[in-house]
Structure 1
């Protein structure tokens, strides 16, 4: 101890790591400065200029536009971060990766906000000039675009933020109108009257993607239809239907049955008090449902009997009366026959086996109506109120202006009781369609709408992948698009395969109008009903280019567009606006095809959105593009799951379990949020919350520690220090081998958008193979060696590691890897994001060397475990105090260990290798029986410079040193 106390302090002679890179990241405060720097030096613009002077292959990720009406939520962050990781990784792998962010600006949510503002002031939207109203909508969208743009940029998202695309830009509105005109001119556009999803609150049709399903209570009723053409034994017979929409009964025009279901005739023998059934009445039911239905009517088993079978042929011949037929003061409104018709949609799963059919209020009903020529009814208005001249129910609403149940259902049920046609009713809970905006229930309602036929031949000559939109879409899904994950293919295929025609029209004001004219007095089926004139179309497009879609609404617009070629009194101008999904579905036309920085061939390499967009943007883009250019607008589609809280519950502000991106960036920094995305399996739903974020932050700290060590190791490294791989020790060549392997993994992973797989491999490499193995071993050489070949080789490898790890991780940790890069390569225009991932020579791969070092690492694990036992028992404080004996029974392993300075690998001062039989009390690991360790203390004195305990310490010219340190000091 006295010798040690008087020994010189050799600390200043060590090659200790030199770096100002802090362990505490301070990301929330520091990230905004990097954003400002990137904007100042124009990183995205530099990359585009770089691409122009090279032969980089373009890669275009087309941005599915978020809606401009609120702050970002965690789902937005997930989506945009994934997109950014795709763009950055493709760029760094040698592509010209372009990203043009965009916004969806038209549509009901914004219009609804402006209407709410009017209502608060007691004003009616319809009293405001439409152009003024549209201008307010535009201003509202502009405000939120500016807010969301800054929120997205804060997440480190790269792209053309100064020149995004907006569906409300004049140029965009012009091209949307032009894309609509292609539907008009190709013959797929038609006006029809079909049941559509209709919001009585918002007074507009809704697309399936605008509807969500929630539980609500309703009245289920069982209604009796009297048989008109009764044969023998069928007197006093009724068909009984079941429905959860009593308000549709006035619109009934048929009953449907299934030819594959067994039906029977049931007679009432007796009834209890307060029962709507009557003794002697006979009912037709599906046999499987008869008992349950009669129980609902309060009839016990002894109160009825099954009379006989009823065949499908008998049912087909039956004619019934509407339940309100002959009602007093009905003025003959329902005095018509109700046929019994076969229908494939009828089952015996619920109800009675007979389906009430109102062609104006359901898809199956409508199809039956078309097939059999049933009457379409127009009993309900836009606000779900019965028409003013409808007997009994005039003016009553299904839902009021707030989406609450109106009086229609109760009035219909009361009238059915009055006329003796209600058999039973029950209050039940069903899952039903609601508007995702107003959250109010929607109904199926027959309304004149504009449709794009998906089964009519498209007369545009683009028939390579099919003649109809449906054919082209299904072919595209199967042959032209790569799906990530593959399940996305099945989902969209089944949707396209089964979907009806596309409802293009909305009865609103804020959007791109359906720029077409209809001939007065003509029927929609007449060939000249729609005006198809290229000159008229051209005038419309020129006006939209200059003035935007507002040009359609200004006074004199009809005269201006029709010109001198047509009498304006002969034509009606259509004022419906396009479904906003047509807007966003058309973005490929004005982003990919129209912009200089779009796609070279007008197609996107990737569309990336949440899985809900199979019925949304992926779907509408597919239909729109197949209608105008004959194929899908994308070559690849990636879908991600939804965000949930830590317990797997849906996030809700009312529950208080939401996680706002802004809160995460303020507490941790955006890189932690990006790391959360990279660590997760985005193909499933993703969980996030305080505890999960703590775990992510811990992973980040471990990775940051690795980068800090590496920076310290390469300080002042120059090309003069570089060592050729062939001259490196085996340990360094093993690292190069791992780099060659990882380079393939990283590139393949990034190409497959497998960010989780890439990050897991890199994280394990950095923290386990580097920090806990290679760095741990080489610290001694890096700190204590003089100018040795071993130290130069280690620093060369550190430099190689630096360039690969920073570029491999830059697409994920955009801020941190920039910090790491600038710590070493500072400069006004320096940035890791201007780099490509370096090419890694395949010659670095060495399977034989890797197999050898696998044995070495396995043996090391046994030794370090044995020493840990001694450390825990306080026999030693550090591994350098040990010189264990290692017993190795496998000859190949023993040879490998003798060839690699195994004491340095195990970080001991000494180590003995032997193939002798190990003592019984030797330390062993159960799964590694061929290696055993017996602990022994190192002999000698402690070197005051490297801290190894060696016999020669104190015998050299520099006091208290070993031979290696004495030479280094010389």
Structure 2
């Protein structure tokens, strides 16, 4: 019955209905047993010859050469050097790259996609880190636009901050320059960097309206930022206080955690110092023989000893008084640390008592100063003695102890990182990290308080701009109380999707580390903190009226007006109580992380959801922009500004090293595109740079160098070759007029549409997951396996030698056009220049550009599970056939296939209705001279025939229809002659055309 149905005009539909599987994603895996090969699809002809035929040029072949329909196209096989660069720029111009973003914003779309651009820093030339980030974003934006979504993407730049100020001023420094002069030079420098970076981003093919970007120095942006500041201040989240902050002596300003780089190779002079106990703890005082006990502390920052206010111990831990065997000195240390300390001192320690709490010590270097022993939760037993020297002015945990126990917080260090007058005449004006440190150690030696000194290699914070060590010192600054925001931020973060998921823990850890955020900076180039101070009392004047008034002025005039306008204009009428002359304007500016962290307020608030679908930045933004954006948004709106986060790695050299000019391993994206000096730096063009980004595992460190770029270029060349083959075989084909309905197609052509639909689903899923690398892997597998090694090798005879308007050839061309269209669209987000170039050569478009024509047009009609069984069953037999003649030309052999009556036989019969054929679909699939199909092997089989056997498991309807069928094959050299036109062994004699070619020539 199946055989009859397959022979009817609706046979293929009936076959699919009979053999329909469950839908993708919910169906069962098909389990097939093949005795000859584990692969269901063949990987070649077994001959190693083009189109299965030797390339001979005899006179008889030349006679019919012009009748063979060989591929023809003007699409170039290769573009290199200046021709490549010119062609990319021409494509950008002809295909309207500059207008594409505006076009898609104006079209109607049911769904929107918002990718909020994290602002790159406007302090230098574009580098490969920019390329990695911007191209990764552009790939996703172009994909979403092709899918029909309206993309919201506004590029931005972070324009303030010390690095720009330092580079702008160069050797001039700030000496003698007014704030406005400094700001003017910094603005000019930032604008120049923006222009260079913007030009590079455009050259890379990044889609945006480049005339409508956001800049943190723009007055409108600054006004939106001050609105966020005002709302947070009104909620009590922003306050002024005197507390320790990270201070950069090299920059002369306070720093936030995100502005630090931790140097793991920093070397400190660590010391063990003694603090004599003057008042013994009760547990010790009651014991005899425990007089003259000293508390032993360990610190890597000896310069902080003069500022000591206490010694802290771990609550509920066991402490012991130990005695040196060599000189009878007694020390109070953690019991857990005694063995390590004994080894360090090179002598045994004898435990003679214990302590649980209490006691007062004598300061080692300051006469008559006493400091208490206090419990503190930050004390650990990992290193040192279990007793921690505590200087509230120079440590965050130390300050917490001081707040709890009302200890004084005395700052002995000035803004230049030098001891001030409070440190005493011996130390004053000495740099604390160099000669000041040396002097304190010398003072400890003089008073016999230095037990031991050692070098300690450990992680230490550095200024991320100047690469110099920072210190912790108290300063009157403006802070955000992140302690009260952390729980809300964590709750909001749980609703955010993070890629990779492993980055979530880093985000949470960074939040936990941040108890407060210092947002004031002692610079000129930034957004002024809108505060006024009373000249006599120093009291700050700041409220919703003052901030709102100044925000409006910034919106109209820009923040330069803070220095340009008189204070009478800056202060609104509502708050002019008393004489205006009693007040002065503040001189601090806002931390640039607050600048950029408020970008959602300036860029996203106009959107309906006011949240971005995704933020995409490097892993350094885990403690930077991701966090500052989250904290400000949660503070003002109780929600995250993003629905998902994508965290990518850094670009590194091919050896995995950080790029450095001194090492000479920096890769310049401009040189990558346009070429450099000599043949070792060829011009690769923008698409190679984009392929590098797409192909990389962006969730780890991304390597780049000559071998990586050459590999990318070669991969694109192979892809270009495939596209050229497709275009060449579509010469003269108009899909609008000549396309064949899938129902009328050859089964192998229908099968390829089925595979093309599977391909499009995989590619769409990969793009949706920000996994362009998987897109490339799926693409390459499809081209290599399904196309080059399988379909192309099978159809060349039909393409080249069938009549031009024959149903079989048009059926094939219809599929090739769909494949060309699907593959071109699938690579378009990654290779927009080449995709548009292919589209210009492809048939049936009439000048339309690819990016205005939508995503891959796969149809549910293409899904043919029953047909899949028929073709893949034939492929199993084909693999068995080719394995019987390894390395030989399949076209020289006749193949006999014997299958017992059943499902497999009926499936094969749908591909070849007659018992023997040279032109059936089964013969085409096998690429043999002739195929004989029978239910059993003939009795008169050639005794020299090569025999083989196999099985194929048919599994349909989720296992409802299941049958394992055996088959046998016999392979014999064909007795037919080679046709001089098609070169298949299907002619009666060497001088005669085969019947198919006779028919084509006679019609021609």
TM-score of the two chains, using structure 2 as the length reference:
0.85
Tell me if 1:663 matches 2:717: no
Which whole-Å CA distance do the structure 2 matches of 1:65 and 1:18 have between them?
47
Deviation at 1:681, TM superposition (A): 2.1
- Range that drifts further, 142-151 or 687-696: 687-696
Pick from 589, 593, 615 the counterpart of residue 581 of structure 1.
593
Aligned 8 A contact 1:216 1:432 in 2: yes
Counterpart for residue 448 of structure 1: 476
Pick from 483, 492, 495 the counterpart of residue 507 of structure 2.
492
Map of 1:766-785 to 2, 5 A cutoff? Answer: 766-785=783-802
Deviation at 1:429, TM superposition (A): 1.7
What SS class does the counterpart of residue 670 from structure 2 fall into? Answer: helix
What SS class does the counterpart of residue 97 from structure 1 fall into? Answer: strand
Classify 1:942/1:537 alpha carbon distance in 2 versus 1 (closer, same or farther; 3 Å).
same
Counterpart for residue 345 of structure 1: 378
Deviation at 1:593, TM superposition (A): 2.2
What SS class does the counterpart of residue 268 from structure 2 fall into? Answer: strand
Aligned 8 A contact 1:59 1:98 in 2: yes
Classify 1:344/1:931 alpha carbon distance in 2 versus 1 (closer, same or farther; 3 Å).
farther
Classify 1:205/1:606 alpha carbon distance in 2 versus 1 (closer, same or farther; 3 Å).
same
- Range that drifts further, 388-397 or 31-40: 31-40
- Range that drifts further, 236-245 or 208-217: 208-217
Which whole-Å CA distance do the structure 2 matches of 1:131 and 1:883 have between them?
90
Map of 1:384-399 to 2, 5 A cutoff? Answer: 384-398=417-431
Counterpart for residue 121 of structure 1: none
Tell me if 1:250 matches 2:299: no
Counterpart for residue 221 of structure 1: 271
Counterpart for residue 63 of structure 1: 117
Counterpart for residue 207 of structure 1: 256
What SS class does the counterpart of residue 553 from structure 1 fall into? Answer: helix
Which whole-Å CA distance do the structure 2 matches of 1:192 and 1:7 have between them?
94
Classify 1:924/1:697 alpha carbon distance in 2 versus 1 (closer, same or farther; 3 Å).
farther
Classify 1:771/1:925 alpha carbon distance in 2 versus 1 (closer, same or farther; 3 Å).
farther
Aligned 8 A contact 1:702 1:767 in 2: no
Aligned 8 A contact 1:889 1:931 in 2: yes
Tell me if 1:653 matches 2:661: yes
Give a deviation string over 1:711-766, Cα, whole Å, max 9, x none. 11222222221111111111111111122223322322222222222222222112
Tell me if 1:407 matches 2:464: no
Aligned 8 A contact 1:318 1:339 in 2: yes
Classify 1:322/1:609 alpha carbon distance in 2 versus 1 (closer, same or farther; 3 Å).
same
Aligned 8 A contact 2:337 2:385 in 1: yes
Deviation at 1:619, TM superposition (A): 0.5
Counterpart for residue 261 of structure 1: 317
Counterpart for residue 421 of structure 1: 449
Give a deviation string over 1:356-408, Cα, whole Å, max 9, x none. 11111122111111111111111101111000353244334446xxxxx5201
Deviation at 1:935, TM superposition (A): 5.4
Counterpart for residue 281 of structure 1: 329
Which whole-Å CA distance do the structure 2 matches of 1:474 and 1:637 have between them?
14
Deviation at 1:673, TM superposition (A): 2.0
Tell me if 1:604 matches 2:615: no
Aligned 8 A contact 1:296 1:425 in 2: no
Deviation at 1:553, TM superposition (A): 1.6
Map of 1:78-97 to 2, 5 A cutoff? Answer: 78-97=132-151
Which whole-Å CA distance do the structure 1 matches of 2:61 and 2:115 have between them?
65
Counterpart for residue 409 of structure 2: 376
Give a deviation string over 1:423-446, Cα, whole Å, max 9, x none. 111122222111221111112221
Give a deviation string over 1:654-698, Cα, whole Å, max 9, x none. 333333322322332221222222222222222233223333223
Counterpart for residue 459 of structure 1: none
Map of 1:550-565 to 2, 5 A cutoff? Answer: 550-554=560-564, 556-557=566-567, 560-563=570-573, 565=576
Counterpart for residue 910 of structure 1: 930
Map of 1:550-949 to 2, 5 A cutoff? Answer: 550-554=560-564, 556-557=566-567, 560-563=570-573, 565-566=576-577, 567-593=579-605, 599-665=607-673, 666=675, 667=682, 668-718=684-734, 719-786=736-803, 787-824=805-842, 830-870=848-888, 878-884=889-895, 896-897=907-908, 899-900=910-911, 901-912=921-932, 916=937, 936-949=972-985
Classify 1:926/1:681 alpha carbon distance in 2 versus 1 (closer, same or farther; 3 Å).
farther
Counterpart for residue 557 of structure 2: 547
Deviation at 1:103, TM superposition (A): 1.0
- Range that drifts further, 168-177 or 881-890: 881-890
Aligned 8 A contact 1:379 1:390 in 2: yes
Tell me if 1:306 matches 2:314: no
Counterpart for residue 964 of structure 1: 996
Counterpart for residue 154 of structure 1: 203
Aligned 8 A contact 1:551 1:557 in 2: no
Which of structures 1 and 2 has the larger relative contact order (alpha carbons within 8 angstroms, sep 6+)? 2
Classify 1:353/1:434 alpha carbon distance in 2 versus 1 (closer, same or farther; 3 Å).
same
Q: Which runs of 5+ in 2 are unaligned?
A: 1-53, 676-681, 912-920, 953-964
Deviation at 1:922, TM superposition (A): 5.1
Aligned 8 A contact 1:60 1:97 in 2: yes
Classify 1:249/1:28 alpha carbon distance in 2 versus 1 (closer, same or farther; 3 Å).
farther
Classify 1:45/1:925 alpha carbon distance in 2 versus 1 (closer, same or farther; 3 Å).
farther
Counterpart for residue 461 of structure 1: none
Counterpart for residue 144 of structure 1: 193
Aligned 8 A contact 2:275 2:449 in 1: yes
What SS class does the counterpart of residue 221 from structure 1 fall into? Answer: strand
Classify 1:212/1:46 alpha carbon distance in 2 versus 1 (closer, same or farther; 3 Å).
closer
Counterpart for residue 275 of structure 1: none
Classify 1:8/1:317 alpha carbon distance in 2 versus 1 (closer, same or farther; 3 Å).
closer
What SS class does the counterpart of residue 381 from structure 1 fall into? Answer: coil
Give a deviation string over 1:815-839, Cα, whole Å, max 9, x none. 1111100122699963212121144
What SS class does the counterpart of residue 467 from structure 2 fall into? Answer: coil
What SS class does the counterpart of residue 279 from structure 2 fall into? Answer: coil
Deviation at 1:513, TM superposition (A): 0.9
Aligned 8 A contact 1:28 1:670 in 2: no
Which whole-Å CA distance do the structure 2 matches of 1:242 and 1:50 have between them?
64
Deviation at 1:944, TM superposition (A): 1.6
Tell me if 1:102 matches 2:156: yes
Aligned 8 A contact 1:862 1:924 in 2: yes
Which whole-Å CA distance do the structure 2 matches of 1:372 and 1:609 have between them?
43
Which whole-Å CA distance do the structure 2 matches of 1:684 and 1:218 have between them?
32
Which whole-Å CA distance do the structure 2 matches of 1:925 and 1:811 have between them?
47
Deviation at 1:252, TM superposition (A): 0.9
Classify 1:15/1:883 alpha carbon distance in 2 versus 1 (closer, same or farther; 3 Å).
same
Give a deviation string over 1:459-492, Cα, whole Å, max 9, x none. xxxxxxxxxx33332221112x222222233322
Which whole-Å CA distance do the structure 2 matches of 1:145 and 1:803 have between them?
37
What SS class does the counterpart of residue 219 from structure 1 fall into? Answer: strand
Deviation at 1:288, TM superposition (A): 2.9
